[in-house]
A and B are shown apart, each in its own frame.
Chain A
């Protein structure tokens, strides 16, 4: 059994439809997609130990199947420079999340390396009732909600389709480099699109996926956050 189907099976057995960030990224990593490094930690001491492995600066995010918008719950702390800051961040996250979501099951946090800043894009998938799996590409991060600058392709994508998906967004010129910045590695983005396309075309259990944001660099791209949703 492949890593991805083992993860999906486990989530189904738990009676869940939404993969945690950790599960989503493990799944992506098994497809050969680069993600930020991620260690689960159930308590403060574990978090500090994990941060030493991941390196500084690092990021702490609350780990809970019941909290989907982690930032809004005060469940994300970034730019943590040392063990002391990690320990304080852990306490702050727990306090904020327990206050705002007293009913939530909180497993602890994940400790992640801090991806260097890049152009934020989104790679996503959805399932169309008529055409089946579709792939989306667009400007990511918060821009996806505001600008909705995205393009769609039906899976499975050809290499031409992947290239076209990237070239068709209104902000395509941003990817070419602007105001002295270097062009991003479009081949790396095409590679992510093709891997995601191949995966969802072969995995009807997956209803939707968001890789958002993906940081695109002049050399490569990394999925910084991810969410995988299974069908009923």
Chain B
């Protein structure tokens, strides 16, 4: 069962007809950038609105929203702040389902702007035109051909649809997030920039992504919440069905509060957010690298059944240091089963290797890269192991074997490659394209496995 908000957002995110108010063909203007963007993204029906023009870039232009002879699903308002309220009223009169308000200069400037913003939100919500923004860059849905991000438009991003959904309360961060994740081989259902949330807010987008069948993994950046109770209730439901990877800003405590009870004094905002993460299964992270690392792992890998990891390192593998990282993150490195040990001894040469947890495939794996694949497959067969962390040399033949083995096993595998992304970008691109969760540091590989084990445990407890 889906709420009215979900139905409305489904309509908006998959808009077929888009009116662009403030469209222009003037070089370097947002009006032109958005129009070209919509055209190139394959938006089905584009209606530029500009009272001074009859035609823009080959599209028939209309003097107003009311003059467009079609049902409009989404209106993108590129106009100055002062006329937004009237335009939203016009959207309501014409049955427009949603409006993206690009303009800034509302609530962030003071009480008057806040009041105007509230009024825009109220008019839209009550009239059935749900408002995204203001002070936002709107949404991106490659499947529907809807794209309103200026920076992404400039840079160019993959147009094929995918199943990562996301939202961000920082406008530009959605751009970067899309770039970074696209670079890691991920593709998107819908990504939304929340802006000032005069109507639709983070909790609404979260509910939508929870219900959206195309979305499997949710990523988000937030700084505050409009309706905390509703966010909690929505997250409690969605978190049990899809991973929500959230970077929440503003988690530093401002010191102890004055309160009449011990509980009141200790109930700081960070402890409450952290409590909510635990209760909802939200995977809370605290950096861009962690958002991206987790998104890649959660999206590409099956969840581990427990927290028992096997570490397999090649030559120079730093298996022991990695084992420390794993323990510190709450993972276990149990001894391998007898059968596993015997099978590994059969395939690994006796000299320069060691069998155990960690296992070292030694220099031998440089001469025979297939040893990586063999070791991975043998260890994956061990019932006492839930996931595998491989530390690989950057030799392409070795990585090919790791990638091939990762596909044949049914347990999550994260690989740490001894190569810096800035000097060897091709290595990571190739692995990403194959859906391999690859990181330039064993600690980062251990981190994502630990977060997956934690989420898997949450799901088991809350079934």
Contacts and interface: CB of A to CB of B under 8 A. Distances in A.
Interface of A: 18, 122, 124-126, 128, 130-132, 134, 136, 144-145, 148, 150-154, 160-161, 164, 168, 207-210, 212, 227, 229
Contact of B261 (A130, A132, A151, A208): A208
Contact of B264 (A148, A160, A161, A208): A208
B260 A134 contact: no
A102 B11 CA distance: 70
Contacts of B260: 18, 207-208, 227, 229
Contacts of B462: 160
Contacts of B269: 128, 130
A164 B274 CA distance: 13
SS class of chain B's interface: helix, strand, loop or mixed? helix
Contact of B266 (A130, A132, A148, A207): A148
B267 interface: yes
Nearest to A212: B262
SS class of chain A's interface: helix, strand, loop or mixed? strand
A208 B261 CA distance: 7
Given A131-B228, A131-B232, A154-B232, A125 B263 contact: yes
Contacts of B232: 131, 154
Contacts of A148: 266
Given A144-B262, A152-B275, A154-B276, 8 more contacts: A18-B260, A124-B263, A126-B261, A144-B266, A154-B275, A207-B264, A210-B262, A229-B260
Contacts of A207: 260, 264
Contacts of B261: 124, 126, 208-210, 227, 229
Contacts of B262: 122, 124, 144-145, 210, 212
Interface of B: 224-225, 228-229, 232, 259-264, 266-267, 269, 271-272, 274-276, 278-279, 461-462
A223 B374 CA distance: 61
Contact of B225 (A124, A130, A229): A130
Contacts of A227: 260-261
B263 A131 contact: no
A207 B263 CA distance: 10
A168 B264 CA distance: 19
A154 to B, nearest CB: 5
A231 to B, nearest CB: 11
A128 B267 contact: yes
Given A131-B228, A154-B232, A229-B260, A126 B276 contact: no
| Residue of A144, A151, A208, A229 most packed against chain B (CB within 10 A) | A208
In the A-B complex, the 7 residue pairs with the closest CB atoms: A124-B263, A130-B228, A126-B267, A152-B275, A131-B228, A208-B261, A208-B264
A164 B278 contact: yes
Nearest to A152: B275
Contacts of A131: 228-229, 232, 272, 276
Given A131-B228, A131-B232, A160-B462, A208 B272 contact: no
A128 B263 contact: no
A225 to B, nearest CB: 11
Nearest to A128: B272
Contact of B279 (A126, A145, A161): A161
B266 A134 contact: no
| Residue of B269, B276, B461 most packed against chain A (CB within 10 A) | B276
Nearest to B227: A130
Contact of B229 (A124, A132, A153, A160): A132
Nearest to B259: A208
A206 B229 CA distance: 17
| Residue of A125, A154, A208 most packed against chain B (CB within 10 A) | A154
B267 to A, nearest CB: 4
